[in-house]
Amino acid sequence: MIGLVLVTHSARLAEGILELVNQMVQGGTPLAAAGGTDLPEAPIGTDPIKVVAAIEQLLSQDEVSEVLVLMDLGSALMSAESALDFLPDDQRQRVHLASAPLVEGALAAAVRARIGGSLAQVLAEANGALAAKHEQLASWQHSLPPLSAETPTTDPTAYAELTIIVPNRLGLHARPAARLVSLAAQYDAQVTLTHNGRTVPATSLNQVVTLGVRQEDLLVVRATGTDAPAALAALEDLALDNFGDPIEVTEPLEIIAAAAVIAGGDSFAGVPASAGTASGPAYRLRLPALDLEEQTTDDPAAERQKLRAAVDAVIEQLRALRSELGQRAGAAEAGIFDAQILMIHDNDLIQSAEETIELRRIDAASAWNWALRSMVARYRALEDDYLARRADDVADAGQRVLRLLAGLPAESPLFAPPEPAILVAAELKPSDVARLPADQVLGIVTAEGGATGHSAILARSLGIPTVTGIGAAAVASIREGQTIALDGDNGLVWPAPDPTLCDRLLARRTAWLAQRQKAQQQALAPAITLDRQTIQVAANINLPGDLAMALANGAEGVGLFRTEFLYMDRESPPSEEEQLAAYLEAARRLQGRPLIVRTLDVGGDKPLPYLRYPHEQNPFLGHRGLRYCLDHPGLFRPQLRAILRAAAQFPVRVMFPMVSTWDELVLVDALIDEICAELQTEQHPFDEDIQRGIMVETPAAVLLAPQLARLVDFFSIGTNDLTQYVMAADRGNAAVGGLVNAYQPAVLHAIRQTTQAGHAQGIPVGICGELAGDPRATALLVGLGLDELSMTATAIPAVKAQIRQLHTADAARIAETALQFSTVEEIQVYLKQTAPAPEKE
């Protein structure tokens, strides 16, 4: 016969049930109870020793073959399970634990046991004990008050239910989960997902992903509410559609990453973007970690509002990134931002942060940090490797919110590996490359990009071996810290290089470094003509960050710092201090080489969003450059102050754009005098004798050059604008664009006049237009007597090589002859004939 053991928290409850059951079976079923504890001060509870005793008491009776244990809840379950642990094996095999309802189950089981049911029959009876009650009371259901939408019903019959076998190769990873969550949210229904006994709301991406659902797993979808049937139907359709994932192995990033498809046996093929080889650990760019100090608050409502606003703002950022990437790389690649949007626009996460604000009365950033960290930890704890890596996506999106709340700019990620490493990235902006710590980067591998992008060019000039375009899938398959190898000459990346390969690459790297050092020495060496004349070769830069590349290419200074870039992509002009910092940074990096700072050159043709310009009929001939700045001292003065202050410490020079009259320079001098007096009073160091120069870019300046040279310390010819003004042609107008050619004889004459005027007054004359960087013009420019050529960084090595093959007397003759011609065609043909033979490497 089957005996019954009842485990409850209350001794009196146990007694009561025994009384009730015995009344039914009249002592015909062996029963024992383990109710309450033996502790007088805490009688409510359970004790596994009492459970063991009850089981042993029944098993010791000859008529009892097996024992069924019924229990109430909580520790009763644990006590029953612990009791089984304490029993010897032979006894334990005769005991079964039932999840049936205690009172109804005990009655039903006892009755069945009394008439000689087997363990299975008794158990079935106990488990079905609520059926009669359900049936009896079903007619009352309609008169119950309807459940509000807020409280999900616990009655299983009120659910519509759907079981899905997940077809996706990678399970419910971020993208299919995101599609499911978005779809579920569209219906007026409470939808939950149950997986391995865990139930989560289908509207929380974080909870859905952290279920860790894998391919072939069973997922139970339940819905209540008005739209429940429609919601389930839609979700079933989505599931049948493989949750929107391609069925074939074509998912670019994820499926291939999981299967790591490798080209050519053991390497990924990409684009050889920068020569050289490397092997070492792979690391990615990381957002710099934030050090937050927890603040208490008296106004939690305001903190909550701040949090909501920050989350909304970040969602906007992510949407913008998505549409930008979507245009460049296609919707599939951009989908990750959709997932990130859902990850942080997650009720679970936001509410948890909000409640932390309320309960602990702390600031929004700290509360969000708490909530975010626990969410990231939940992702990391997932067994599935792929899903666990999504922790980075949550952390990344969450960090954006954190930075916003902390009032920090959305900073770009940094490369800070624990040891010199290979940088692995989806794509790199030139600014990312410029900021790389040179001693920490062994090489670069990117998913996107070719050989001609700015980043590749920059990597080449910095001498970092680089392979681009190995594809997002390959990049995603590389783990942080994994040793990889790359060959920048042939565009190959080995995700798991063997030691022999590494040795071979190392040998090549050594040879390459030696060769590179030689090439670099050449670029870095001064440009001296055959007759020992030194020509200054400088770089044009937009931001201090451009200097890494300029110096690597052998720049001997900066001939043109276009400060407009400091004023762009922001909502107000940079402050004096910000500008000072930028000028000092550039000057410091130049290590004593000269820096020519051109003051703000804006106008109707180059507008800044926060400056107001009247509409101009002809902005090129309008209120721009120095003209505009002189009329807007509020804008101009901070810049001049910053430049004058920087000049106190470094060889910084100032240069004014778009000068056309003597008066303009007089006004500038007066303004500088005024500012110097101010700085004197404020006790800021400054250089009142700062070298001042002008861009010669208007015909007026050319014609007036002999007079203007008396007011300034140098000239720099801006051939781009000068050509347009001299030729009276707009390069943007296709009909006359052909006229805009710096080799036009009129332009060359203008250059000669300017140079002669400058030299007559004893001041140096440079050139900073595109013509300066054209090696075909080098002989001509040297022959015209220019003292400095300033150009885009990458042009420097070739121009220096040209200079080294020149004799200044030859160059002067070439220039003299060229100026005899009447047409641009004749001049260009002539220069081609006289060009020195290209340098042999």
Partner 1 sequence: MISAATVAAWLHHAATLLDEHKACLTDLDAAIGDADHGVNIARGFNAVAQKIAAQPDQSLGLLFKTAGMTLMSAVGGASGMLYGNFFLKAAAVAGDRNRLDDADLLAVLEAGRDGIVQRGRAELGDKTMIDAWTPALATLREALAAEQPLTTALTRCAATAQQAMAATIPLQARKGRASYLGERSVGHQDPGATSTYLLLRSLSETVTNAALLTQEQPT
Positions annotated as catalytic residues are: 454, 768
Distance CA 229, CA 810 (A): 90
Q: Which single residue is written with the structure tokens 């043709």? A: 605
Decide the pairing of beta strands 788-791 and 765-767. Answer: parallel
Q: Residue 605 carries which side chain, given as an amino acid letter?
A: D
Least distance (Å) between residue 81 CB and partner 1 = 6
Whole-angstrom distance, CA of residue 67 vs CA of residue 310: 60
75 near partner 1, rule: CB under 8 A: yes
The total number of residues written for the chain in this structure: 841
By beta-carbon proximity to partner 1, the closer residue of 7 and 786 is 7
Binding flag, residue 377, partner 1 (CB under 8 A): yes
How far is 626 from 640, CA to CA, in rounded Å? 12
Alpha carbon distance 225, 498 (integer Å): 59
Using CB under 8 A as the binding rule, whether residue 506 contacts partner 1 is answered as no
CB of 367 to partner 1, least distance (A): 8
Closer of 301 and 829 to partner 1 (Cβ): 301
Contacts of 734 (CB under 8 A, 6+ apart): none
695 closest CA partner among 737, 605, 619, 758: 758
Near partner 1 by CB under 8 A: residue from 12, 20, 23, 38: 38
CB of 18 to partner 1, least distance (A): 21
Least distance in angstroms from the C-beta of 42 to partner 1? 5
Tell me if 11 contacts partner 1 by CB under 8 A: no
Q: How far is CA 101 from CA 107, 109, 128, 130, 690, in A?
A: 10, 11, 9, 8, 92
Q: Which residues contact 116 (CB under 8 A, 6 or more apart)?
A: 1
**Rounded least distance, CB 379 to partner 1, Å:** 10
Would you call 756 helix, strand, or coil by DSSP? helix
User: Nearer to partner 1 by C-beta: 297 or 356?
Assistant: 356
Name residues contacting partner 1, limited to 139-198 (CB under 8 A).
198
Q: Are 1 and 30 in contact (CB under 8 A)?
A: yes
Is 776 exposed, middle or buried, given 0-12, 13-18 or 19+ CB atoms closer than 10 A? Answer: middle
Lookup: tokens for 215: 């391919």
Strand segments (E) across 136-215: 160-165, 190-195, 198-201
Q: In the complex with partner 1, which residue's Cβ is closer, 375 or 815?
A: 375
39 scored as a contact of partner 1 (CB under 8 A):
yes
Residues from 338 through 367 that contact partner 1 (CB under 8 A):
348, 351-353, 355-356, 358-360
Minimum distance, C-beta of residue 97 to partner 1, in the bound complex (Å)? 13
Cα torsion through 682, 688, 690, 692, rounded to 10 = 110
CA-to-CA dists, residue 826 to 217, 323, 397, 814, angstroms: 78, 50, 60, 13
The nearer residue to partner 1, 299 or 631, going by C-beta atoms, is: 299
The site map against partner 1 for 768-807 (x = CB under 8 A) is ----------------------------------------
Among 32-40, 428-436, 586-594, 808-816, which window interacts with partner 1 (CB under 8 A)?
Answer: 32-40
User: CA nearest 549: which of 277, 793, 300?
Assistant: 793
Q: Please state the closest distance from residue 384 (CB atom) to partner 1, in A.
A: 14
Q: Which stretch binds partner 1 (CB under 8 A): 80-88, 128-136, 436-444, 759-767?
A: 80-88
Which is closer to partner 1, CB of 150 or CB of 663? 150
Instruction: Calculate the dihedral angle through the C-alpha atoms of 362, 364, 370, 376, rounding to the nearest 10 degrees.
Output: 180
Could you say which of 24, 44, 700, 704 contacts partner 1 (CB under 8 A)? 44
Report, in Å, the least distance between residue 583 CB and partner 1. Answer: 45
- Per-residue binder mask for partner 1 (CB under 8 A), 226-245, x = binder: --------------------
Of positions 1, 3, 34, 37, contacts partner 1 by CB under 8 A: 37
**Min separation Cβ 139 and partner 1, Å:** 29
Binding-site member from 19, 26, 27, 42 for partner 1 (CB under 8 A): 42
- DSSP letter string over 487-532? ETTTTEEESS--HHHHHHHHHHHHHHHHHHHHHHHHHHS-EE-TTS
Q: Which residue from 3, 30, 35, 48 is in contact with partner 1, where contact means CB under 8 A?
A: 48
Burial of 788 (0-12, 13-18, 19+ CB in 10 A): buried
How many residues sit close enough to partner 1 to count as binding (CB under 8 A)? 36
User: Residue 625 — left, alpha, or beta (φ > 0 → left; ψ -120 to 50 → alpha)?
Assistant: left
Residue with Cβ nearer partner 1 (351 or 707): 351
Among 79, 190, 540, 563, binds partner 1 (CB under 8 A): 79
Which of positions 92-121 make contact with partner 1 (CB under 8 A)? none
Q: Which of 8, 46, 192, 553 binds partner 1 (CB under 8 A)?
A: 46
Return residues touching partner 1 (CB under 8 A). 37-39, 41-42, 44-49, 74-75, 78-79, 81-82, 85, 198, 210, 348, 351-353, 355-356, 358-360, 370-371, 373-374, 377-378, 381
